[in-house]
Amino acid sequence: MTESIRVLHVDDEPDFAELAGELLEREDDRIEVLTATSVEEGLSLLAANDVDCVVSDYEMPEQTGVEFLERVRETYPDLPFVLFTGKGSEEVASEAISAGATDYLQKEGGTDQYTILANRVLNYVDTASAKSQRERQLDAIEAAQEGISILDEDGEFVYVNEAYADLYGYEPSEIVGEHWSLLYPEADVARVEDEILPTVEAEGGWRGRTTGLRADGETFVEDHTLSRTDGGELVCTVRDLTERTERGQALAALHDAATELEAADSESEVYDILVDAAEGILDFDLVAVDVYREEALVQVAWSLDLDTEGYWEVTPIEEDTFATRSYKRQETILVDDLREHEISPADPEYRSVLTAPIADIGTFQAVSREVDAFDESDRELTELLVGHAREALTRLETEQRLRERTAELERQNERLEEFATIVSHDLRAPLSVAEGRLELAREDVESPHLEDVASALDRIETLIEDTLTLAREGQMVTDREPVDVPTVARRSWNHVAAPAATLAVDDEFSVWGDPGRLQRVFENLFRNAVEHAGEDVTVRVGRAGEDGFYVADDGPGVPEGDRESVFERGYTTSEDGTGFGLAIVGEIVDAHGWAIDVADSEDGGARFDVTGVTFAREADDADPDEQRPE
């Protein structure tokens, strides 16, 4: 696989371009993202850098993503190009595919889309890299795969390659010695004689579209190139444009199927869509999907015409079949004639097979009763379809794990809430009795010991409150929303009784989190600063790096030897403190999945850095669902 991949992402919204770049780079450390906010900037970056893949928005002020694609294709015909857009429609998808887009992906909410996008980028870049290497090694063979012929000065064929003869439905020997008019309808013969051949004589060559005539009388549109050699011979190169059009239609239909796969709610639905697409789009008659379970490939979906008797139902992985070979090797296998191989088919009538792995999930297999039923185009389209199915199955697995994790967190939160309720009830009842008895004792006697009792009861009350806070604030955060940090910080500052103290907010930014619990973090950190640095302390709040924020003061700081202990429950350097203030901060930070560290501030005081946060976009038109973290 490619060791490093440079992706050019073009989107006219700078914040979205930056966010998408960060999330793509997080998905795979091989990915490096260059961002541009216009087509012209994108073309400049493309010219100045070695880019492996382009990802572009569709709707941009100056030019659309498809217009950008057309300009890219002029210079980079094989560069993978993914249209990643919020404007989703069959019209846009068809336009993109017709213009030469490698793929089309619609923007959605959440971060799963970036996993899908990263997987597609990696697959297309690896495929393009492998294809480029093959092309370098097999240039001569690839050239010969086009229809090529040579005619003498009399217009008779002196050479045709196999591909040329196949286009017209002849054997090469049947064409050599014949006049070129054999391969064109009568109306086109006059055009060639009156227009095309005079252009070749005058300019040395010609290229355009002509209508070819096959041996069976069928006609087709061909891309035709003619060149006159120094020896007077005419070299002809022909490609079937009808086949290319059909491939474009198949790609557009496959993208519709990909949309269905991305919306599938279950594995069985994915398999049904996969089989239906193979039958309806790729025109395969007999297909089956096997899933790896307990050291065997188990059939889970198949076409109605397929005989399900025998090894089609369950195939032990140690058996040597094309399905098990494809799964073990993780490679596509195409066999033109099964009778030339040592593996016996499930049905003796099966002659051709095309098998593709679905990653480590299983295999997709198509069989035919005809020899040479599948070609390289079938292989490529199958791999594309199977790739979409693999992504859908991976998404479903990820969603299932997320649901299970969320359910476990909710159960954990319920247990913590139950614990807090029990503590509150069982401790507060005897505490209330003690406080009542204390008041009665004060009415009967005067004693300094009663004041000590009152102080002890107050401390017990504080400890109960802090214990309940720890239990509740330590519950994992399952519901988050964008929180404007400066607003919450200033609101928290108003709850700190220190008129001489100063709060300075250095940056404007938002994070995904629980606003109530984030306010508790700031309140406790502010109170800690006032308690240790004095009532005239200056506290600063700002953004730290790519994934964090800080709270810093100009007080005496935290000794280096105590920094690992300050978040422990009960740790305090104050006679009146309970040691729960910073412990609560640590619990809330951990409940968000963040981390917190203590260091020296620039002013010599304490600096608390909270890292691992996800920033929310500050743009007024930001869609929360587009940036919501997992």
Q: What is the CATH number of the domain that holds 235?
A: 3.30.450.20
Q: Is residue 308 part of a domain?
A: no
Under 8 Å between Cβ of 54 and 41: no
pTM of the model: 0.38
Residues 46 and 104 in one domain: yes
Q: Are residues 104 and 72 in the same domain?
A: yes
Same domain, yes or no, for 468 and 486?
no
**Are 459 and 595 in the same domain?**
no
The pLDDT score that the predictor gives to residue 181 is: 93
Where do runs of H (alpha helix) occur along 192-240? 197-203
492 in any annotated domain? yes
Position 335 in a domain: no
Gap between the Cα atoms of 544 and 522, Å rounded: 16
- Calpha distance 125→122 (Å, rounded): 5
Q: 556 lies in a domain? A: yes
Whether the CB-CB separation of 558 and 623 falls below 8 Å is answered with no
Asked if 222 and 238 count as a contact pair (C-beta separation under 8 A), the reply is: yes
Q: Which pLDDT score is estimated for 312?
A: 53
- What is the model's pLDDT at position 468? 63
Q: Residue 136 in 3-state DSSP? A: helix
- What does the pLDDT read at residue 573? 56
Q: Are residues 196 and 130 in the same domain?
A: no
Q: How many structural domains does the chain have? A: 4
Sheet with 333-335: list strands edge to edge.
314-316, 296-302, 286-292, 362-368, 352-358, 333-335
**What CATH number is attached to the domain comprising 11?**
3.40.50.2300
Q: Please give the DSSP secondary-structure letter assigned to residue 343.
A: S
> Do 461 and 571 belong together in one domain?
no
Residues 498 and 619 in one domain: yes
Q: Do the domain assignments include residue 348?
A: no
Q: How many helices (H) and strands (E) does the chain have?
A: 19, 24
Domain boundary among 137, 167, 191: 137
Q: What is the pLDDT of residue 626?
A: 45
571 and 547 within one domain? yes
What are the start-end ranges of the H helices in 281-321? none
HSE-CB for 148 with a 13 A CA cutoff: 11
Question: How confident is the model over 441-472, as pLDDT tens digits?
Answer: 888 888 888 887 777 777 667 656 665 665 55
| 115 and 25 share one domain | yes
Q: Among candidates 409, 477, 480, 410, which has minimal Cα distance to 627?
A: 480
CATH, residue 554: 3.30.565.10
Check if the beta carbon of residue 511 is closer than 8 Å to that of residue 482.
yes
Distance between CA 613 and CA 521 in Å, rounded?
14
- Which residue numbers in the chain have pLDDT < 50? 1, 137-144, 309-311, 618-627
The length of the chain, given as a count of residues: 630
Q: What is the pLDDT of residue 87?
A: 67
96 in the same domain as 155: no
Domain hosting 186: range is: 142-245
Query: Does residue 397 fall inside a structural domain?
Result: no
pLDDT reported for residue 309: 47
Query: String of b and e for 117-126 (b: at least 16 CB within 10 Å)?
Result: bbbbbbbbbe
Asked if residue 375 belongs to a domain, the reply is no
Q: Is residue 124 part of a domain?
A: yes
Residue 24 CA to residue 319 CA, distance in Å, equals 40
Domain boundary among 98, 122, 137: 137
35 and 103, same domain (yes or no): yes
- Domain boundary among the residues 95, 111, 137 is at 137
Element (H, E) at 84: strand 81-85
Pair (457, 498) in one structural domain: no
